Structure 1
Amino acid sequence: MRLDVDGETFELRTDEHGGTHYDWVSGPNAGYGFGSSPTAGTVDQHVENIRVFLSMIDPATGYIGDD
């Protein structure tokens, strides 16, 4: 599945543990993304997971920032 959220594109795939891996395909760092387990039940839940991830990104690096 592919989702566009707030101008960013993610490809979603299930993993072997019953979760979801979110590949940030429009992000500045190839191969970067995140995982969530258990997998979300609805598209709205996937969107929320992506928004939480994006809220943690340091715009200067494109990676989750240090607190």
Structure 2
Amino acid sequence: MSSEPEPGLVPEHLRPGYDGDPIMVTVDGQDFRVRVRAGEPGTYDFDWLSGPHDYGFGLSRSDGVAMSLPEMEEAIRAFLAEIDPATGYLAE
């Protein structure tokens, strides 16, 4: 029996080198579109779709490894924790 993972067990959007369609992630009632930046493994753009402004953030992993869904959710929660509720932008 091989210890190598079987193809197809990792969702396509989490595979290294995936440059396809964005995924939708909802965290604490807030909707985000997450896109892998084309040609930049481990780099993501998070667009805050339900926020008060056209706003979001980018994130890169130094090792180039794909983020898991729980890691994406953690990054979104960290972003939301920094938002000023009065302005809807990052607190200064």
TM over 0.5: yes
Indicate the residue corresponding to 2:67 in structure 1. 41
Instruction: State yes or no: 1:8 paired with 2:34.
Output: no
5+ residue gaps, structure 1, are: none
TM-score (norm 2): 0.66
TM-score (norm 1): 0.89
User: How many residues get paired?
Assistant: 65
Between the aligned partners of 2:75 and 2:66, the Cα distance in structure 1 is 8
**CA RMSD, aligned part only?**
1.3
> Which structure 1 residue ranges, 4+ long, deviate > 4 Å from structure 2?
none
Equivalent position amino acid for 2:51 in 1:
G
Which has the larger displacement, 33-42 or 47-56?
A: 33-42
Which structure is larger by alpha-carbon Rg, 1 or 2? 2
